[in-house]
Structure 1
Amino acid sequence: MKPLFIRGPSPTLRVTLAVMFALGLIIADHRYERLERVRVVLSVLTDPLHFAVDAPTRAIRATQERLVRESQLRALNQALRRENLLLKGRLQQFEALEAENMRLRDLLGSSFNVGERVLIAEILAVDLTPARQQVMLNKGANAGVFIGQPVLDANAVMGQVVRVNPSSSVVLLITDSEHALPVEVNRNGLRSIAAGTGVGHDLELLYIPKNADIREGDLLVTSGMGERFPPGYPVARVTVVRQDPDNPFTTVLAEPTARLDRSREVLLVWTLDPRMYPNALTDAERIRARVAP
């Protein structure tokens, strides 16, 4: 059988019907709220679709945020490490400055005890071998340093200047095997010569009679007999007093009270009239040193 109507409703009629149906739904939903349950059911059905569609975008966004956060954390961690290292370095510098300040206070206290013109110098190089016991200072002829000048630290005598350059000088320590220093026992005034052994930090007292009154623990001070060091400067403390049958003299060893292997700053001392050092003045004038009166 053939249909009675071959053609359906016209497009215009379809659009009109659709618009009227839509308006009816709007009026029913807005005025009477009849479609709330339908909206809830449709949202339950469409939420998984929305979640699935938005999943790639959210994954990309989360990955970007995670990467940004990791890079920020790494940068922050690296910055904190650098800051920590810098602060530790500054802390070490502060500790070094504090220790240097204490050493300088000791030196200044020693200079007040000396009561003469002094100059603080810093040790640049150290040569503590059995063949040579000497240090280099950062003060020279330009600062008035002269050959034979006494050198002290905060505790005792360290040595004397043996070579002077315009901006540096070399000090021969009292422990050098070529150094000898007139000393006396502070307790009773017994005089002797403290010679360096070149081995370790020991001094040996020469020509001590076997009946001499000297004991372990006695303090040795400069006697002033050599006209190089003024009297009364601490030098060493007696550590060994031994009687050897084959030796006509008493074997006496002493340990310097100066911190020969630890001092960083020393005192260059003007204690006696420089005219008492004719050889030193000649060498100083040769390099145009200005020796203070």
Structure 2
Amino acid sequence: MNLMFSRGPSLQSRLALGLCMSVALILFDHKLNGFGTTRVYLNSLVSPLQYLANLPGEMLNTSASRLVSHERLVTENAKLTHDAVLMSEQLQRLTFLQKENERLRSLLNAPVNNHTERLVAELMAVDNNPYSHQIVINKGAIHGVFEGQPVLDDKGIVGQIQQVSSTNSRVLLIADVTHAIPVRVARNNVRLIVAGSGSLRELFIPHVPHSNELQVGDLLLSSGLGNVFPEGYPVATISSIVRDESRPFAQVLVTPVAQLDRLKYLLVLWPNQQAKDEVLLEDPQ
């Protein structure tokens, strides 16, 4: 079957015609800017597609930036918390040294250890026994912790290390009924013993004579006797004094300075660096 319109220009002719038209359009656009308006419309039509094409990459970049920012904030927060606990301990020590400056002036020539070794620990667990107030911290023998070591928070004395394992330790709080700590009154240097009452918010002072010059609001500092707690750290404030002459002793209640029911970060103290090194040598685990 013969097709009347089956023949047309050859491929070479079509190619030459296309090249000529392309060159003509390029010259027309370059010299006369004939397609400027057309390009604007075409770019407007293509812009949404470009935004959609870039959207996955932008979302990934935004997510990565947020993750990096969150990780940086967590790291900075942990560092600031660590520094705050250390500065709190130094502030407690500075306050004590300022108050004791006049009393110790005669002893200025004696060697004083101002660089107590410290270690920041974190609360791991709280003992569920209602008759015992103990907690577990995340530092143990491999960090040089030993039994009887004093533990503080950012306010004052919390307790002392009772049991030590490789990676954690058990702390006996000053509120425990089996715990007692020697203290002195910051105002007049009267020496007393503060004992645990079983309540996290209340301690008591046993065997206080009626003639004792105690006042509500007096701050009690660790006296350093017994060689367990270093001298000069806040322990409690006197909250109540009942002088009943029918009883042999006055009833004195005190409030612990440390927030025993809100512990999170704690500070473990060594008498000095040499003592810590000796403990590490004795227990290389």
TM band (smaller chain): 0.5 to 0.7
Which amino acid in the other structure matches residue 158 of structure 2?
M
What residue in structure 2 maps to residue 30 of structure 1? none
Which amino acid in the other structure matches residue 171 of structure 1?
V
- The runs of 5 or more residues in structure 1 that have no matched partner are 1-78, 276-280
Cα separation, 2, equivalents of 1:194 and 1:266? 21
Moved more, 166-175 or 195-204: 195-204
Cα separation, 1, equivalents of 2:205 and 2:272? 25
**Pair 239,163 (structure 1): closer, same or farther in 2 beyond 3 Å:** same
Cα separation, 1, equivalents of 2:89 and 2:238? 25
Q: What SS class does the counterpart of residue 177 from structure 1 fall into? A: coil
Q: What is the aligned-residue identity percentage? A: 37
Matched, 1:146 2:183: no
**Pair 142,150 (structure 1): closer, same or farther in 2 beyond 3 Å:** same
Cα separation, 2, equivalents of 1:186 and 1:290? 40
**Pair 190,289 (structure 1): closer, same or farther in 2 beyond 3 Å:** same
Q: What SS class does the counterpart of residue 197 from structure 1 fall into? A: strand
58, 83, 95: which one aligns with 1:105 = 83
What residue in structure 1 maps to residue 156 of structure 2? 156
Shift of 1:169: 0.4
In the alignment, is the contact (CA less than 8 A) between 1:230 and 1:272 conserved in 2?
no
Cα separation, 2, equivalents of 1:262 and 1:126? 11
Which amino acid in the other structure matches residue 208 of structure 2?
I
**Pair 141,249 (structure 1): closer, same or farther in 2 beyond 3 Å:** same
In the alignment, is the contact (CA less than 8 A) between 2:200 and 2:261 conserved in 1?
no
In the alignment, is the contact (CA less than 8 A) between 1:185 and 1:220 conserved in 2?
yes
Residues 30-53 of structure 1, C-alpha deviation per residue, up to 9 Å, x if partnerless? xxxxxxxxxxxxxxxxxxxxxxxx
Which amino acid in the other structure matches residue 246 of structure 1?
S
Matched, 1:217 2:195: no
**Pair 268,187 (structure 1): closer, same or farther in 2 beyond 3 Å:** same
**Pair 238,100 (structure 1): closer, same or farther in 2 beyond 3 Å:** farther
Aligned residues: 206
**Pair 110,271 (structure 1): closer, same or farther in 2 beyond 3 Å:** farther
The TM-score normalised by the length of structure 1 is 0.60
**Pair 130,250 (structure 1): closer, same or farther in 2 beyond 3 Å:** farther
In the alignment, is the contact (CA less than 8 A) between 1:141 and 1:288 conserved in 2?
no
In the alignment, is the contact (CA less than 8 A) between 1:143 and 1:290 conserved in 2?
no
What residue in structure 2 maps to residue 289 of structure 1? 283
In the alignment, is the contact (CA less than 8 A) between 1:223 and 1:231 conserved in 2?
yes
Q: What SS class does the counterpart of residue 110 from structure 1 fall into? A: helix
Q: What SS class does the counterpart of residue 198 from structure 1 fall into? A: strand
- The runs of 5 or more residues in structure 2 that have no matched partner are 1-58, 94-113
Shift of 1:208: 1.1
Matched, 1:246 2:240: no
RMSD: 3.6
Q: What SS class does the counterpart of residue 225 from structure 2 fall into? A: coil
Which amino acid in the other structure matches residue 197 of structure 1?
S
The TM-score normalised by the length of structure 2 is 0.62
Which amino acid in the other structure matches residue 263 of structure 1?
L
